[in-house]
Structure 1
Amino acid sequence: VLTAEDKKLIQQTWGKLGGAEEEIGAEALWRMFHAYPPTKTYFPHFDLSQGSDQIRGHGKKVVAALGNAIKNLDNLSQALSELSNLHAYNLRVDPVNFKFLSQCLQVTLATRLGKEYSPEVHSAVDKFMSAVAAVLAEKYR
């Protein structure tokens, strides 16, 4: 459960990304494809090389969806309902992949934010991403 302090830290951290969202999303995806090669199977039509237009475009979508979730921290299920349906029913993405992306996003944030990615921020982002993954996996039950 996200505490008021967690929510504040998540919003502050997200605010520090200013303008780098596409790059952060692309880097997180690229890390995921390399750390967890089976995730590539969901993107057979993508150029999976670092910085490709497809990875950048999808990274931008991922980060935009997370930004929307951050604006709706008190109602993640509603904020992510459409994405949950898409990933469960149309794309049939194995829910474990949401955890993989979460890990890769956290590594990306840590490398970009350095000391600003404190243990407290890490904990808050981890809880947030776990909540997002849980919501995205809701439709699988």
Structure 2
Amino acid sequence: MLKQREKELIAEIWDKLTPVAEDIGSEALHRMFTTYPGTKTYFSHLDISQRSPHMLSHGKKIVVAIAEGAKDISQLTVTLAPLQTLHAYTLRIVPTNFKLFSHCMLVTLACHMGDDFTPVIHAAMDKFLSAFAAVLSEKFR
């Protein structure tokens, strides 16, 4: 899956992005809700307008979880185990939504990073976010 250099690169990037977690996470969520309106159903009790306190808070939680998973990708399943259970059994999120969000996060990163979002980073981040989405979906099988 990911080469050692890709793992290191991903960890470095997410470490740098953690200080702007609210911005990146809320932007990716807003992009997902706009592009895939069906994903809003899980957030009907929250204010999902762009940059609302709910969006900023949830966006930050997501980015922090992604950054935590990026620290040791080989342990992604262990790191995400509590989130797997929460999303599968309590929240009952449709697994496809994780893939949709991963794509929106990838686009958000490209916009945020600009020229620093090289083809190498794009490929590595796509692999990582795909793995992240797959791990979150495992409990649904």
TM-score after normalising by structure 2: 0.96
Aligned equivalents of 1:19 and 1:13: distance in 2?
11
What is the alpha-carbon root mean square deviation over aligned residues?
1.0
- Mapped pair 1:128 → 2:128: yes
Q: What are the superposed Cα offsets for residues 12-33 of structure 1, whole Å, 9 maximum, x if unpaired?
A: 2223325211110010001000
The residue number in structure 1 matching 2:54 is 54
Q: Which amino acid aligns with 2:2?
A: L
Partner of 1:27: 27
Aligned partner of 1:17: which letter?
Answer: L
- Cα deviation for residue 81 of structure 1 reads 0.4
- Number of aligned residue pairs: 141
Q: Secondary structure at the match of 2:127?
A: helix
Structure 2 regions of 5+ residues with no counterpart?
none
Q: Tell me the equivalent position of 1:44.
A: 44
Q: Give the secondary structure class of the aligned counterpart of 2:17.
A: coil
Which residue of structure 2 aligns with residue 66 of structure 1? 66
CA deviation vs aligned residue, 1:71-121 (integer Å, no higher than 9, x gap): 121111000000000111111100000011111111111011111100110
Q: Partners of 1:65 and 1:72 in 2: how far apart?
A: 12
Question: For 1:19 and 1:75, how far apart are their aligned partners in 2?
Answer: 23
Which residue is 1:113 aligned to?
113
User: Matched residues, percent identical?
Assistant: 50
| Structure 1 residue ranges (4+ consecutive) displaced by more than 4 angstroms after TM superposition | none
In structure 1, the partner of 2:8 is: 8
What residue is the counterpart of 1:100 in the other structure?
A: 100
Structure 1 CA distance for aligned equivalents of residues 9 and 2 of structure 2: 10
Q: 1:56 & 1:120 partners in 2: Cα distance?
A: 29
Give me the whole-angstrom Cα distance separating, in 2, the residues matched to 1:3 and 1:95: 26
More helix by share: 2
Closer/same/farther in 2, CA of residues 18 and 68 from structure 1, 3 Å limit? closer
